A and B are shown apart, each in its own frame.
Chain A
Amino acid sequence: MYQNKSRFAKVLGIASTVFLVIYTIFSVFPLIWMVIISFKSDVDMFKTLFIFKPTLDNFRNVLTTGNYVKAFGDNFIICSGAVLVSVIVGVPAAYALARYNFKRKETVAFTILSFKFAPEILIIIPLFAIFQKLHLYDTYFGMIWIYQFIGLPLLIWVLRGYFEDIPVEMERAAELDGYSWFEVFFKMLIPLIRPGLVAAALLTFIFCWNNFTFGLMLCGFNIQTITVSALTYIATDTIHYGQMAVASLIAIAPEIVLCLCIQKHLVRGLSFGAVKG
């Protein structure tokens, strides 16, 4: 009996390890390969696979010609602005959902989350008309306004869990100690939700950074997002594959850095109340 079980466990262990290795290759190899060919000259591109003389030409080309750097900057401005708005709007909302009891609270909470699910194009089509009427089309303000919808629902849901974990008595104790409501909020609550806030804000940033549809349809001449800009490297019949790789690398780099920063909080942040404490 025991023999059987351990043999079964052993087979399972080997199978799962093999499986993990294969999936890891599938998952990580494209990223590694991207880094490799970003250093490849156009000449080496066709001749070699892994061994070649590395060059920085591709980086030089992408960074100096075209508007990729500007797109990177635009994207950064829009995403930072959107994250800022999301935090300002979302933190109080998350607090309200965690602390106040009102009728149909769960419905409201779900409605907020369902914005995340709604088809983006459904919003974009009327927004396109509204934006043009209000002269918001192709402006930073308009883009920030629409981008903050991307992360807001998630931010609210993540932070709601954090607020719910703080005993309400602690807030009361602080009030009795003489703190005003604003002081309680900023001196007692914000420090306690900070890990969640940082994680959620960075996650929001990543979602904004990756967004494609809004950038494709609601801006284009003055402002270009990095995803839309990257697409031009496919569309034009370029043979500068190295530059494609560099463009991808530049678009991904900030996110990988952020991912490493928040990975500790990521699991907790995305647990949706399934994990407590």
Chain B
Amino acid sequence: MRGNMAKTKQTGQKLNKKPMNLRLRPWLIILPTLVVTLGILYPFYQAVFYSLTDYSLKKPVWHFVGLKNWLEMFKGVNFWHSLWVTVKYTIAALVVEMGLGLVIALSLNRKDNLFTRILKVVLIFPLMVSPVIATLLFKLMTNSSVGVVERFLNLFGVYGFPWTADSSTALFSVILIDTWVYTPFVLLLILAGLQGLPKSPYESAMIDGGSAWFTFKTLTLPLLKPVILITLIFRLCAAIQEFSIIYSTTKGGPGDTLMNLSLSAYRDAFTYSSIGKAVPQILVLWVIINFISSKLVKAWLKAKSANNG
């Protein structure tokens, strides 16, 4: 019975090259990706082009204006103010979220019991909440007439805390929302990293009798470095262009307290209809993101190979 299987049909002629369909296969596989990639690259080049024109959403004609938009931007005050807001926001968000995320992840990882297992799921929930919805919740909670936080503060004699209404507390308020939404992201990635740590170095460290701090400093931290870096990349790139939270709280206000580059570009493009003025700001943002993230990715690859090697 074994002999009745179909035999391969063999031709005598010799193939000198890989058949066309085989050579094309890798290209066919990545073709869809190439198509959609072009779909995103074209708008990008379009954007660069717009920055050299006085293109507006309201006027039917546009003119080529050279570097006028760029020069005006660098000369003006608004751009530098927006850049400063962007930097402030990014640093504040990153420091708080990375620190908090790391500490919580380590605390959760110390013991494996029902409590920590439930927390590992529950603490991720805020990440699932859209920043806009988070803002909505924040507004509800801090509302001076019905907000539960307001009532809670009343207990301490604080009435009508201004939150986003005052320029002195606005940044603190949006960072609070940002922290609520994005700390779980840091937590999630670092937990993943902790789970993947090899066990044997810890066993030998325990035999050597190293203190908890020493183990953390010499083992956990270096081993976690790739994860920390990738988390930092993601958070940095999101925080530096944060739009949703600020837009849905104050649209950049009060005044221009929270007017970061994203919001400033949005305002120029859609409120003032001047795309030529909006695009340079966002291109600067893009250059900054690209510069920092490429440096961080290099560090990440290096840390990763150092751990594997």
The residues of A with any CB-CB pair to B shorter than 8 Å are 5, 8-9, 12-13, 16-17, 19-20, 23-24, 26-28, 30-31, 33-34, 37, 45-46, 49, 85, 88-90, 92-93, 95-96, 100, 102, 106, 110, 112, 114-123, 125-130, 145, 148-149, 152, 156, 181, 206, 209-213, 216-217, 226-228, 230-231, 233-234, 241, 244-245, 247-248, 251-252, 255-256, 258-260, 263, 266-268, 270-276
Contact = CB atoms under 8 A, between A and B. Distances in A.
Given A121-B265, A248-B133, A276 B196 contact: yes
Interface in B29-46: 29-30, 32-33, 35-37, 39-40, 42-44, 46
17 contacts: A5-B211, A16-B106, A20-B119, A30-B134, A37-B140, A49-B148, A117-B290, A117-B293, A125-B269, A125-B279, A126-B46, A128-B57, A244-B140, A248-B133, A275-B192, A275-B195, A275-B196
Nearest to A229: B132
Contacts of A247: 136
Give the size category of B's interface with A.
35 or more
B33 A93 contact: yes
B193 interface: yes
Contacts of A93: 29-30, 32-33
B107 A16 contact: yes
A166 to B, nearest CB: 16
Given A252-B128, A266-B124, A123 B110 contact: no
Which 5 residue pairs of A and B lie closest in terms of their CB atoms, listed nearest first?
Answer: A275-B196, A117-B237, A210-B130, A16-B107, A126-B46
Contacts of A233: 136
Contact of A234 (B183, B241, B248): B248
B45 to A, nearest CB: 8
A275 B193 contact: yes
B94 interface: no
Contacts of A126: 43-44, 46-47, 50
A202 to B, nearest CB: 10
Contact of B227 (A181, A256, A274): A274
Nearest to A212: B244
Contacts of B125: 27-28, 31, 256, 259
| Interface of B: prevailing SS | helix
Interface string B47-80: 1001000010100000000000000000000000
A20 B265 contact: no
B142 to A, nearest CB: 11
A230 to B, nearest CB: 6
A274 B293 contact: no
A12 B79 CA distance: 46
Interface string B92-119: 0000000010011011101100000001
| Interface of A: prevailing SS | helix
Contact of B146 (A28, A45, A127): A45
Interface in B293-309: 293-294, 297, 301, 304
Given A122-B286, A252-B133, A213 B243 contact: yes
Of A5, A8, A126, the most chain B CB neighbours within 10 A belong to: A126
A221 to B, nearest CB: 15
Contact of B135 (A88, A117, A234): A234
B130 A34 contact: no
A46 B43 contact: no
Nearest to A210: B130
Nearest to A13: B110
A117 B40 CA distance: 13
Given A92-B30, A125-B278, A251-B133, 17 more contacts: A30-B141, A89-B36, A121-B282, A123-B40, A123-B44, A125-B275, A148-B36, A226-B130, A231-B248, A248-B137, A251-B130, A259-B124, A259-B128, A263-B121, A268-B192, A272-B189, A273-B304
Nearest to A122: B282
Given A20-B107, A152-B36, A227 B226 contact: no
A268 B192 CA distance: 7
